[in-house]
Amino acid sequence: MRAGWAFAALGAAAAASFGGLGFVIAQRLTAPPSGRRFDLVVREVESTADREQAVFDRMPQTTSPGRYSLLLEDGRLVRLGEEIEDRGPQLIAREVVGRSVPGGVSAGERASWSGIYFGDPSDAGLEATDVRVPTAAGPAPAWLIDATGLRSSTWAIHIHGLGSPRAGTLRGVQVATELGLTSLVVTYRNDGEGPRAGTGRSTLGRTEADDVRSAMAYARNHGAERFVLFGWSMGGAIALRIASDPESNSDVTALVLDSPVVDWVSTIRANCVRSGLPGWAGTLARPWLDRPPLARLVGLPNVIGLSHFDWVARAAEIRVPALILHGTLDSSSPFDAVARLRGRRPDLIELETFEADHTMNWNLDPNRWRLAVSTWLSPRI
């Protein structure tokens, strides 16, 4: 009997421990936006009359092929070129090819490596008007960008991902503008730019989708008749959710999704691995996101309902053609889930693959990304 009680106590302790880990994962996943980690140091700056190069420690990020940027602690964005030059066994150099605002980068500055290549519309060569979209959570700022000064009847709605600013979508806005579409680059509740609601936590697309629907209503009131939804990461999950709604999919003509979350369960597992935890730990978070009493303890206004975002299981409900651009090295939104979704709906989904990490497909090969999007989208608008 005592042994039985001992095992029971051990089991209860283990359950409490696992439950606590699930709570922590759920809290971190839905946490309000926090500051970036500036964990990269500019070791040296080499300047000549016609060229400036920044020197970094040799590491997977700094030697990644493609175009990237540095986000500096004071908010400046510095764009880096593709060419990588050796500076001995421990260091590399990359050319500084542009800045969001005037000012050089200095040796010793701390920075964050990023795929966000443009700081604002003007930085991307685009003319934008600042507008505010009425939502149930409050006014949400957005950028309204007309392609040629003439408003199109087809609007592109650009939806950023979890923990990323709306500026990250400007890589796709350039293509939409070249195709003659009017673009609305949206924010949503609790993303750090949009209105704050409740505890400030993300609901992983559940309530954020309502704010994007409000943006579409704003667009209709200003001349939009049809929509193309551009979704990045969690923005892809939001786009799929909206396009599956009977009320919305009649005027959504196409989806362009970069690194979309097509199954939150597999995405949470992948991010656990990315953070140094075992993948199975991700399943411990599910009750804290899907059961009302536990979700309230996390600080959520309601349950998220992760099964509603399992588009592999819900593939038959997709009614809108979609182009998915996804990296085979994606460590956040698993490529395998996207490949399975493509396998279930080859009639509607086209998949363009890149040997890139999460949302870095454009950065790896901007020309191929732009060509793939414009070629696929042109006949659908």
What tens digit of pLDDT does each residue of 318-335 get? 999 999 999 999 999 999
101 pLDDT tier (thresholds 50, 70, 90): confident
10 pLDDT tier (thresholds 50, 70, 90): very low
Lowest mean pLDDT among 33-42, 228-237, 300-309, 366-375: 33-42
11 pLDDT tier (thresholds 50, 70, 90): very low
Mean pLDDT to the nearest integer, 285-312: 96
CA distance 192 to 34: 8
CA distance 358 to 233: 8
4 pLDDT tier (thresholds 50, 70, 90): very low
At 210, list the tokens.
């309502």
CA distance 46 to 105: 10
13 pLDDT tier (thresholds 50, 70, 90): very low
Q: Are strands 44-47 and 52-57 parallel, antiparallel or unpaired?
A: antiparallel
Mean pLDDT to the nearest integer, 3-17: 36
